[in-house]
Amino acid sequence: GRHKDKNHWRFLVDDLLAQDVIYQDGDRYPVLKLSEKGKDVLYGREKVIGLKREEAKKKQQAARGSEFTPHDEVLFDKLRVLRKSLADEQRVPPFIIFSDRTLHEMCRRYPATLPDIAGISGVGDAKLERYGNDFIKVIKTYLEENPDNLIQSGQSYEISACPARNKTKGETFDKTFELFKQGLSIEEIAKARNFAASTITGHIEKLILTGHDIDMDRLVEPKRRDEIGKLFLTLQSWHLNPVIEHFKGAVSYDEAKFVRAYMKNHRLLKNSVFQ
Residue 134 shares a structural domain with residue 183:
no
Domain end among 107, 126, 156: 156
Residue 138 shares a structural domain with residue 207:
no
Instruction: Give the model confidence (pLDDT) of 84-130 as tens digits.
Output: 999 888 888 888 899 888 898 888 888 888 877 887 888 877 788 78
Provide the pLDDT confidence category of residue 220 given band limits of 50, 70 and 90.
very high
Domain end among 214, 235, 254: 214
Residue 75 shares a structural domain with residue 136:
yes
Residue 138 shares a structural domain with residue 76:
yes
Residue 140 lies inside a defined structural domain of this protein:
yes
DSSP letters along 58-84, please? HHHHHHHHHT--HHHHHHHHHHHHHHH
Longest Cα–Cα distance of the chain, Å, equals 61
Domain end among 196, 214, 232: 214
* Mean pLDDT value of segment 215-227: 95
DSSP letters along 210-272, please? TT----GGGTS-HHHHHHHHHHHHHHT---SHHHHHHTTTSS-HHHHHHHHHHHHHTTTTTTS
Q: What is the mean pLDDT of the chain?
A: 77
Check residues 183 and 96 and name the one with the higher pLDDT. 183
Residue 152 shares a structural domain with residue 94:
yes
User: In whole angstroms, how large is the CA radius of gyration of the chain?
Assistant: 19
Provide the pLDDT confidence category of residue 230 given band limits of 50, 70 and 90.
very high
* Mean pLDDT value of segment 236-261: 88
Indicate the number of domains in the chain. 3
pLDDT score of 22: 77
Residue 93 shares a structural domain with residue 142:
yes
Residue 196 shares a structural domain with residue 129:
no
Residue 134's Cβ-count burial label (10 Å; 0-12, 13-18, 19+) is middle
Domain of 229, in residue numbers: 216-275
